[in-house]
Amino acid sequence: MRVLFFNYEYPPLGGGAANATLCILREFAKIPDLEVDLVTSAVSNEYKLETMGDRIRIHRLPIGKNAQNLHFQSQKDLLVYAWKSYFFGKKLIAQRKAQNLHYDLTHSFFSVPCGFVSLLLKRKYGLPYIVSLRGSDVPGYSERFKAVYAFLKPLIKFIWREAAAVIANSQGLRELAQETNAKQRVDIIFNGIDTTAFVPNEALQRRDQFIITPGATRITERKGIRYLIEAVGLLVSKYPHIFLRVMGEGDEKEALLELVKKKQLEQCVQFVGRIPREETVPYYQEASLFVLPSFNEGMSNAMLEALAVGLPIIATETGGTAELVTDGVNGFVVAMKNAPDLAEKIEKIMLDEKLAQRMGHASRAIAEKQSWQEVAGQYALLYNRLIT
């Protein structure tokens, strides 16, 4: 079976969808009868071919990215990727045909631009395709794209309707997609967790500080980190050992740095910049608590990683939270854009060490049920079902 895979994000470019693609491909490399060509974006001005084992090839196409703009994809970036990936996909199909081989289907992460590329290839070659919804490609997910959604919604609905399968990574994201088209069938395959790399390590947990982490994340308005900073500001006079450490980059970072300065929180809030994912584990292990005050998510990779490390979780009620957080069991669910509610729940965990330990153990137990091997296996079964 041969699959042509499209995702404009792939490490070091992008966030959760990039990491999910990497982890799925690692598992695909272990499946003997599965061959995959991923068409993604380069972080340079040159085409680059990478391989993963004997049957996974990663084609990086130059779209104007560099080391300074890894986490933010402009509309121009997406248009350039769509144009180049479509013609590169045609080239790969022609190469396979010359070898008397063929692709069985295409698989796109994100409805646009990737799903649109799959749609065009279906129209030209009759290839069925799968669309994996990742969050921002679903109308209503992000306030930043409100005007874009109004323009793209008819196209997105058409892409979904023409797909052989549409897959969300959480119940919340499926429900959001069905607000765009109530008749659209949307199945769910959750994100996975690397439970061998992300493990608890009590030896690294700081005793002199109560460290809060929102995980490795894009620092955008949608993540709600502003309210977490405000919550820390409400608590610091009472608990001077509280400390917020934020990994990542994004267009909201400068505004948040200004907020930290305005509230005189420089001694208890730190932005450490982008950390390569393979180096993020100690940042989770040193922490006492994971907090995700996001306005919207598909299923947060950062939350999954925090679960695997055995952290109590505080999160807003958004995509993935219902599946991963049971209020009062492995964490607390809080109101969106509500710093006092965040501060109250943080304080409860700070004051009750036994509660924190119990919640951490419950988080790890949840993580152990969700592996990337299981996720990749579900996609492989779906591929087989669609082509037989």
User: Do 2-192+371-387 and 202-367 come out as alike in CATH topology?
Assistant: yes
* Residues 183/175, Cβ–Cβ less than 8 Å: no
* Residues 320/352, Cβ–Cβ less than 8 Å: no
For 268-295, the pLDDT digits (tens) are 999 999 898 889 999 999 999 999 999 9
3-class secondary-structure state, position 368: coil
Average pLDDT in the chain: 93
Beta bridge partners of 200: none
Residue 78 has pLDDT above 90, yes or no: no
pLDDT for the residue numbered 71: 61
Average confidence (pLDDT) over 288-315: 93
pLDDT for the residue numbered 218: 86
Residue 260 has pLDDT above 80, yes or no: yes
pTM comes to: 0.80
The Cα 373–Cα 364 span in angstroms is 17
Beta bridge partners of 262: none
113 pLDDT tier (thresholds 50, 70, 90): very high
* In the chain, % of residues over pLDDT 90: 79
pLDDT for the residue numbered 69: 63
* Residues 108/17, Cβ–Cβ less than 8 Å: no
pLDDT for the residue numbered 65: 73
Residue 70 has pLDDT above 70, yes or no: no
Q: What fold, for 2-192+371-387?
A: Rossmann fold (3.40.50)
68 pLDDT tier (thresholds 50, 70, 90): low
DSSP state letter for 112:
I
- Encode 183-203: b = buried (16+ Cβ within 10 Å), e = exposed: eeebeebbbbbbbeebebeee
For 135-173, the pLDDT digits (tens) are 889 998 877 777 888 889 999 999 999 999 999 998 889
Residue 210 has pLDDT above 80, yes or no: yes
Average confidence (pLDDT) over 334-363: 97
For 3-43, the pLDDT digits (tens) are 999 999 999 888 889 989 999 999 999 999 999 999 999 98
Does domain 202-367 correspond to CATH entry 3.40.50.2000? yes
Domain-by-domain residue ranges, the chain? Answer: 2-192+371-387, 202-367
Which one-letter amino acid corresponds to residue 178?
A: Q
Give the Å distances, CA to CA, from 83 to 106, 178, 272.
16, 28, 35
Which of the pair, 312 or 193, is modelled with greater confidence? 312
Residue 247 has pLDDT above 90, yes or no: yes
Which of the pair, 14 or 378, is modelled with greater confidence? 378
